[in-house]
Amino acid sequence: MAPTVSPDALALQRLYHWEKTTPERVVFTQPLGAGAVRTYTWREAMDQSRRIAAHLQSLGLKPGDKVALLSKNTAQWLMADFAIWLGGFVSVPLYPTLAAGTIRQILDHSEAKLLFVGKLDGWAGMKPGIPAALPCIALPLAPDDACAAYPGWDAIVARTAPLAGTPLRDADELATIMYTSGTTGAPKGVMHSFATFAWGVASGLKRVTSIDQSARMLSYLPLSHVAERTLVEHGLLATGMQIWFADSLDTFAADLQRARPTVFFSVPRLWVKFQQGINAKMPSAKLDRLLKIPILRGIVRRKILTALGLQECVFAAGGAAPMPPELLRWYNKLGLDLVEVYGMTENCGVSHATLPGRQRPGTVGLPYDGIQCRLDPVTSEIQMKAPCLMLGYYKEPELTRQAMTDDGWLKTGDKGALDAEGNLKITGRVKDLFKTSKGKYVAPAPIEDKLVMHGAIEACCVTGANLGQPLALVMLNAEAIRKAATPEGKSELEASLAAHVDAINQTLDPHEQLDCIVLMSDAWTVDNDIITPTFKVKRNRIEDLFAKNYERWVGQRKKIIWYAA
């Protein structure tokens, strides 16, 4: 299904539009550390992008060559992407948390001819993944040794004349290759054109009318992820809104206060952390009592949202993983209606969303305009068709073929169901289902949604293929670990978690009920390969590390078990 979009909606045309019509409007606010910030107007941003584009062309790169980006989110990340497109090239963004081996794999597979290296944590561990012969450019805020080793962005900008004119790219031309973070197997390079992104963001904006030129967003989730790429980068191009960038994890609260975003998107894990932070200061029962008092309700809501930096937020959304219904209801009580969105890299992240102001907990809402959705009659797999579908997987025709049905629908790999209104409910992954020794299938995702609502739980994974009953592996958060350091605190935590499991089991069918939960104090991170950069648990990795213990744990006949390596 080839996208039909107006040429004026394509990325380069949008850049020229804002460069011409709002040259002195501030578009980026970039923190520099220690509370300092640097702002960039459209004129300044486009001037730097044009100069870098001219430099890339001077290096002898050919049209269509791949240029990679390895950096946390910064103003220059976006300017570099603009420069790649202006110069006639294809951008290949890498997650800024990848291990050296994965970096090397992607750079080799994509045939990248140059790499932008920017703001990074853990650069020493990443550097061995960069081929010695690959030309690199150091973005501002890059690690010191990268700045010393590679030509610097500022120096290139200072000595290079800007690219002149308004070069254009065809709508169907390849714009980017986005390597999926993947919970299984090697990353696949998802190819998108200028048209697929333009169509996708236009469809999304028909639903989300509150995103316009007056909107403000804080960019902090990796720009290499499709949600941030579509909502922030292409949302910016479509609307001309302003983008603030986060400085670091330690300054995130201050970054939110500075930006006061009117639009805020996050993965469920952060929404849960916000909730846990509020509950740590004000117990849930007390908050509920205060919110029931009409004269206090508005004051309490404003105070909490102001503390989060979300007092001016008019569109708040969550996605990339299931949003627990209880979490949606909790924010609703604060007057913040979280929109739940559903999509994937292969469709520009544009598929379904709940309607603003009309939450449907447990579902991801209705399809966007122009999106077709159906369920496989045998497996209940969600399949979709739209003009924002990928061009395919780079250099992987067989994988591309496997991802599509014979009649051209994308196989999402997710299982689903529709309610009476047509809202889509994600019931799990087709391949995540496992069968107990009793011959019954268990879908782990809905159980995990309930488990993670306990204030001590950072992340969890329900598993148990071929066992009599499922069990759950739980990563505790830092506060819970501190609490468990004393005998009294440990006993209290265990009792609370046991009661939580009992309450959950009462809502489950007998074959789904958890036999036990195993508590882990070691962090699940990208570095130890247990989670993806978007905080999805890699189930295969969990099985590899811990499956050998399952029968022993179940045999202990205890509800709460502490893992000891």
Residue 439 and residue 419 in one domain: no
**Average of per-residue pLDDT across 270-283:** 85
Residue 447 and residue 388 in one domain: no
The string of pLDDT tens digits covering residues 232-245 is 999 999 999 999 99
CATH number at residue 493: 3.30.300.30
Residue 420 and residue 473 in one domain: no
Look up residue 28 and give its two tokens.
């980026």
Residue 452 and residue 512 in one domain: yes
Cα(26)–Cα(403) distance, integer angstroms:
42
pLDDT score recorded for residue 159 = 98
Cα(24)–Cα(181) distance, integer angstroms:
37
DSSP character for 8? Answer: G
| 105-109, 460-464, 508-512: the lowest-pLDDT one | 508-512
Cα(14)–Cα(46) distance, integer angstroms:
12
Question: Binning pLDDT at 50, 70 and 90, where does residue 436 land?
Answer: confident
Reported pTM: 0.83
Residue 321 and residue 400 in one domain: yes
In a domain, 451, yes or no: yes
pLDDT score recorded for residue 101 = 87
Residue 418 and residue 334 in one domain: yes
Q: Residue 390: which of 417, 412, 364 has the closest Cα?
A: 412
DSSP character for 452? Answer: T
DSSP character for 186? Answer: S
In a domain, 33, yes or no: no
Residue 273's H or E segment, with its range, is: helix 268-281
Residue 425 and residue 463 in one domain: no
In a domain, 320, yes or no: yes
In a domain, 130, yes or no: no
Residue 450 and residue 554 in one domain: yes
Query: Does the pLDDT at position 273 exceed 80?
Result: yes
Pick the last residue of a domain from 379, 412, 429.
Answer: 429
pLDDT score recorded for residue 91 = 98
Number of H helices, E strands in the chain: 21, 26
Cα(129)–Cα(172) distance, integer angstroms:
32
Cα(200)–Cα(225) distance, integer angstroms:
15
In a domain, 48, yes or no: no
**Average of per-residue pLDDT across 408-425:** 93
The string of pLDDT tens digits covering residues 350-367 is 999 998 878 788 889 999
The string of pLDDT tens digits covering residues 152-192 is 999 999 999 999 999 999 999 999 999 986 555 578 999 99
Query: Does the pLDDT at position 503 exceed 90?
Result: yes
The string of pLDDT tens digits covering residues 69-105 is 999 999 999 999 999 999 999 999 999 988 888 899 9
Average predicted confidence (pLDDT) for the chain: 91
pLDDT score recorded for residue 495 = 95
Look up residue 21 and give its two tokens.
């019509």
CB 178 within 8 A of CB 224: yes
- Return the HEC string of 453-489: CCCCEEEEEEECCCCCCCEEEEEECHHHHHHCCCHHH
Pick the last residue of a domain from 429, 457, 476.
Answer: 429
CATH number at residue 418: 3.40.50.12780
Domain ranges, residue 409: 280-429
pLDDT score recorded for residue 2 = 59
Residue 423 and residue 439 in one domain: no
The string of pLDDT tens digits covering residues 103-141 is 999 999 999 999 999 999 989 999 999 999 999 999 999
Pick the last residue of a domain from 429, 450, 485.
Answer: 429
User: Rounded to a whole number, what is the distance in angstroms from the first to the last CA of the chain?
Assistant: 51
DSSP character for 232? Answer: I
In a domain, 450, yes or no: yes
Cα(444)–Cα(436) distance, integer angstroms:
12
Cα(418)–Cα(425) distance, integer angstroms:
6
Q: Residue 321: which of 208, 213, 221, 177 has the closest Cα?
A: 221
pLDDT score recorded for residue 501 = 95
The string of pLDDT tens digits covering residues 19-68 is 999 999 999 999 998 889 999 999 999 999 999 999 999 999 999 999 99
b vs e for 480-491, b when ≥16 Cβ sit within 10 Å of the residue's Cβ? bbebbeeeeebe
| 145-149, 185-189, 389-393: the lowest-pLDDT one | 185-189
Stated length of the chain: 565
Residue 395 and residue 449 in one domain: no
Q: Residue 190: which of 392, 342, 400, 350 has the closest Cα?
A: 392
The string of pLDDT tens digits covering residues 207-228 is 888 889 999 999 998 999 999 9
Residue 354 and residue 480 in one domain: no
Say how many CA atoms lie within 13 Å of 539 toward its Cβ.
Answer: 16
Within a 10 A sphere around the Cβ of 176, how many other Cβ atoms? Answer: 26
For the chain, how many structural domains are there in total? 2
- Coil, helix or strand at residue 67: strand
In a domain, 332, yes or no: yes
In a domain, 527, yes or no: yes
Residue 371 and residue 420 in one domain: yes
**Average of per-residue pLDDT across 439-451:** 84
pLDDT score recorded for residue 184 = 52
pLDDT score recorded for residue 1 = 54
